[in-house]
Amino acid sequence: MTTTAAPRVPPILTVARYLLLDRVTYLALPWLWAAFAFGLDVVILQLVPDDHSAQRWVGGLLAAFAVVFVLGIQTVARALPFGLALGVSRRTYFLGASALAAGLAGCFGTVVTIGQLVERGTGGWGIRMAYFRAPGVLDGAWWQTWLTASAAFVLVFAYGMWYGLVHRRAGLIGTVVFGAAQGVLLTLLAAVVTWTHNWLRLGHLLATSPIAAILAGLAALLLAGGLVTVRRLQI
Amino acid sequence: MTPAIAVAGLGLRYPGRGGHQALSEVSFEIPSPSIVGLLGRNGAGKTTLLRILTGQGFASTGSVRVFGSPPLERDAVLRRMVLIREDQTYPDLKIEQALAAAALFHPNWDAALAATLLDAYELPVRRSIKKLSRGMRAALGIVLGLAAHAEVTLLDEPVAGLDAVVRDMFYQHLLADYTAHPRCIVLSTHLIDEVADLLERVLVIDHGRLVIDALTDDLRGNAVTVTGRTADVDRFVADRATLSRRALGARTTVVMAGRLDQRDRQLAEHLHLDVDYLTLQQLAMHAVDSAAGATLIPTGAS
């Protein structure tokens, strides 16, 4: 009888390898949707009147971020129970999934950066289309683009995981309450800023702070929230 | 020697007013190697207990130790265990990918056994799990559970949805694999008589309470059904603990606790009584009555 001993690798990396068994979903799906959105944007730009501006902004790249958000949900909705059945702890699973998110985000950030370089080099694909650029967010130096895009991918993946975990723990009603609570929190923050007449200072702070750092900070908060949520998750 | 599984005073009450008491004061120890049957009706608490053993669920009270350590959130303990549930949720993977996942996590993964079982159960490795029938999903669970060769293998209703032929194949594979790789295997099922010959030990759970914890050999033959003329049956079972009684015309059937000695057999023959030992399933059914459960457990059995 042949017994195949699994190589001794850290459990967190094993979780990442486990998730990457579904390579099509984790590696190809976001960019298949992004490619579809790219084609759609090209068609739309051909149809709408040209305003002769320097760049013609489109939002198709958001498709990749939306798919990564769904990947975050899927990672805890379906892959987590099987992972636990195979003998891994919740904490290790979550850290492994987070490590995968960071790795994917770095790769996807590279795709965005290269896409942006090509886009700039070809005059916006010959039609002045700004697909890999976004005003004020993804329009700086290549390294800023990489940092910002990578942080944004981690952010949406972590947000998806947290939503998925809340849904597993509290069901649909709990998920709705979770979403509503975020709305209430943002409203309260807006009210506080208004009452203290700090909108200008907040605007200045956001405009002068590196956006990648803000996104990374938010991603860290979401990951911490997910880690707290997963600790009492029952499968 | 440290038992493979040691459970002490385990209880689970779901939160909220009038919360359901899913488990109550469950205590037992399972040595390794052994094949143990976790038996009980649907909703008795079998899956809940298995989930807590593997840290997938939380107990309200009590403790669980696997090889001397609590399993909850301990990777070093959890990687020595596998639990495949009847209602197992799988990700969107093909069968071959699910097997690759199990090989990643389990250091003793037996690829050759997995290939043999896949062939025996006719599972198409390139098919997506979500496209499998209920029976094929159950068979996949069996392949994963057995080929993992985990030191603590927990199979929750593994034969649910399988036809009789495949169930019989599973029992043969289980026994052969256990013989080749002795370990702690806990088999939860309500098809008790089918697995009776495999089990070394039996845990019967009912309404969250452990009503029987005994070696199968100690339990087997510990109750008999006596059928005959009512007066003769009454004479035979006088001063013996009876578990149930059913009369039909002039004939009566009584289920009696305890074993028969030579003198009992001679008396039964003299009175023309039919005497049959209860099957494990019948014993388990009687054990859910708490009073009967106590009488069914042989003295000194553990």
In chain B, pLDDT over 70 holds for what percent of residues?
95
Q: Are residues B237 and B147 in the same domain?
A: no
Q: Are residues B77 and B19 in the same domain?
A: yes
Taking only the tens place, the pLDDT of each residue in A172-218 is 999 999 999 999 999 999 999 999 999 999 888 888 888 999 999 99
Residue B47, domain member (yes or no): yes
Q: Are residues B195 and B272 in the same domain?
A: no
Q: Do residue B104 and residue A92 have CB atoms under 8 angstroms apart?
A: no
Q: Are residues B207 and B254 in the same domain?
A: no
Question: Distance from A107 to chain B by nearest Cα, in Å?
Answer: 23
Residue B24, domain member (yes or no): yes
Residue B293, domain member (yes or no): no
Instruction: Tell me, rounded to whole angstroms, the distance of Cα B113 from its chain centroid.
Output: 23
Contact B211/B288 with Cβ under 8 angstroms?
yes
Q: Are residues B121 and B253 in the same domain?
A: no
| Amino acid B196: pLDDT | 87
Judged against a pLDDT cut of 80, whether residue B288 lies above it is answered with no
Residue B179, domain member (yes or no): yes
Q: Are residues B43 and B162 in the same domain?
A: yes
Hey, is the C-beta of B51 within 8 angstroms of any chain A C-beta? yes
| Amino acid A6: pLDDT | 47
Structure tokens at B259: 């074993």
| Amino acid A40: pLDDT | 95
Judged against a pLDDT cut of 50, whether residue A4 lies above it is answered with no
Q: Which residues of B touch A8 (CB under 8 A)?
A: 107
Q: Are residues B63 and B161 in the same domain?
A: yes
Residue B126, domain member (yes or no): yes
| Amino acid A1: pLDDT | 40
Residue B290, domain member (yes or no): no
Residue of A nearest to B101 (CA): A18
Q: Which residues of B touch A86 (CB under 8 A)?
A: 82, 101-102, 105-106, 144, 148
How many CB atoms neighbour CB B272 within 10 A? 9
Q: Are residues B231 and B114 in the same domain?
A: no
Residue of A nearest to B102 (CA): A86
Residue B186, domain member (yes or no): yes
| Amino acid B293: pLDDT | 57
Average pLDDT for A72-89:
93
DSSP state letter for B181 = S
Domain that holds residue B238: 223-277
Question: Distance from B27 to chain A by nearest Cα, in Å?
Answer: 22
Please report the ipTM that was assigned to this predicted complex: 0.85
Structure tokens at B82: 């596998």
Q: Are residues B22 and B106 in the same domain?
A: yes
Question: Distance from B203 to chain A by nearest Cα, in Å?
Answer: 22
Number of domains forming the structure of chain B = 2
State in Å, rounded, how far the first CA of chain B is from the last one.
15
Hey, is the C-beta of A228 within 8 angstroms of any chain B C-beta? no
Please report, as a single letter, which amino acid is at residue B60: S
What does the alpha-carbon distance between residue B102 and residue B267 come to, in Å, rounded to a whole number? 58
Q: Are residues B58 and B114 in the same domain?
A: yes
- Final residue before a domain boundary, out of B181, B215, B249: B215
Judged against a pLDDT cut of 90, whether residue A154 lies above it is answered with yes
Q: Do residue A89 and residue B80 have CB atoms under 8 angstroms apart?
A: no
| Amino acid B218: pLDDT | 84
Give the CATH number of the domain where residue B137 resides: 3.40.50.300
Taking only the tens place, the pLDDT of each residue in A96-114 is 999 999 999 999 999 999 9
Average pLDDT for A115-119:
95
Residue B45, domain member (yes or no): yes
Q: Are residues B190 and B173 in the same domain?
A: yes
Q: Are residues B210 and B257 in the same domain?
A: no
Kind and range of the H or E element at B252? strand B251-257
A68-87 residues touching B, CB cutoff 8 A: 74, 78-79, 81-87
| Amino acid B120: pLDDT | 94
Question: Distance from B113 to chain A by nearest Cα, in Å?
Answer: 8
Give the CATH number of the domain where residue B265 resides: 3.30.70.2020
